């Protein structure tokens, strides 16, 4: 039988990903979740996401379409141990957290800026995701070696010139069949040529580039 992950792998092998628009942040009613986790109120989460976007003067947050894509990747891959590098005020962490609610997984999100790290924690709480998303404040280069265990889903959205170094730090701790997704690989391609070279030529990765909203994400599956 083809699992969701097998379908993803098959599509990625041909460099094809189909992203369908969805109706709301979580659909019309709260989703059932494993382990008796409290579902979030979808309307409240949609309002919160819109509010984070409205306050995002530096335009740090991923686009809504990219957020939907991240949730879909988490849910379809069955990810359980997710890592985000560059959490800002929590927009992408909330989308990833909603995917993890359906898989029973957890996210550690790392944010360097102390003010943004506080907003991130507060927004995660408002989204009803504090049981799923752990915020770690500080420099991810220093914090990642302190985290326990491996990851099966990594989302990289820190400063673009650091991407190759972050990939090298995290790759040994990425599970086989784990996903490594990096943001802005289309609109900021010139700042991360070295990283793209590595993931696109790596013998143990299948990598494809998708661009739901023009910012672009590299999606790499560890073989």
Ligand X SMILES: C[S@@+](CC[C@H](N)C(=O)[O-])C[C@H]1O[C@@H](n2cnc3c(N)ncnc32)[C@H](O)[C@@H]1O
Shortest reach from residue 184's CB to ligand X, in Å = 7
**Residue 99 interacting with ligand X (CB under 6 A):** no
Of 77, 95, 110, whose CA–CA distance to 213 is shortest?
A: 95
Of 60, 59, 65, 62, whose CA–CA distance to 25 is shortest?
A: 65
Among residues 33, 92, 102, 103, the one that binds ligand X under rule CB under 6 A: 92
**Residue 119 interacting with ligand X (CB under 6 A):** no
**Residue 151 interacting with ligand X (CB under 6 A):** no
Residue closest to ligand X when measured from CB atoms: 86
Q: Among 10-18, 54-62, 197-205, 210-218, which window interacts with ligand X (CB under 6 A)?
A: 54-62
**Residue 129 interacting with ligand X (CB under 6 A):** no
Q: Among 2-10, 40-48, 57-65, 191-199, which window interacts with ligand X (CB under 6 A)?
A: 57-65
Closer by beta carbon to ligand X, 19 or else 60: 60
Among residues 110, 129, 185, 221, the one that binds ligand X under rule CB under 6 A: 110
């Amino acid at each position: 039988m083809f699992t969701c992950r097998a379908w993803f792998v098959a599509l990625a092998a041909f460099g094809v990903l189909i992203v369908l628009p969805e109706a709301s942040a979580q659909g019309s009613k709260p989703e059932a979740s494993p382990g008796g986790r409290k579902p979030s109120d979808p309307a409240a989460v949609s309002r919160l996401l819109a509010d984070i976007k409205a306050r995002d003067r530096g335009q740090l947050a991923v686009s809504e379409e990219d957020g939907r894509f991240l949730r879909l990747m988490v849910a379809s891959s069955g990810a359980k141990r997710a890592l985000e590098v560059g959490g800002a005020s929590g927009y992408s962490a909330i989308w990833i957290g909603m995917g993890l609610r359906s898989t029973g997984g957890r996210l550690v999100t790392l944010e360097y800026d102390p003010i943004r790290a506080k907003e991130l924690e507060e927004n995660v709480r408002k989204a009803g995701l504090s049981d799923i998303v752990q915020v770690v404040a500080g420099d991810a280069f220093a914090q990642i070696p302190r985290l326990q265990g491996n990851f099966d889903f990594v989302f990289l959205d820190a400063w673009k010139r650091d991407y190759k170094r972050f990939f090298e730090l995290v790759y040994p701790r990425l599970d086989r069949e784990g996903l490594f997704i990096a943001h802005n690989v289309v609109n900021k391609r010139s700042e991360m040529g070295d990283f793209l070279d590595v993931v696109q030529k790596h013998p143990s990765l299948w990598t494809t580039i998708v661009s739901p909203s023009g910012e672009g994400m590299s999606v790499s599956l560890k073989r």
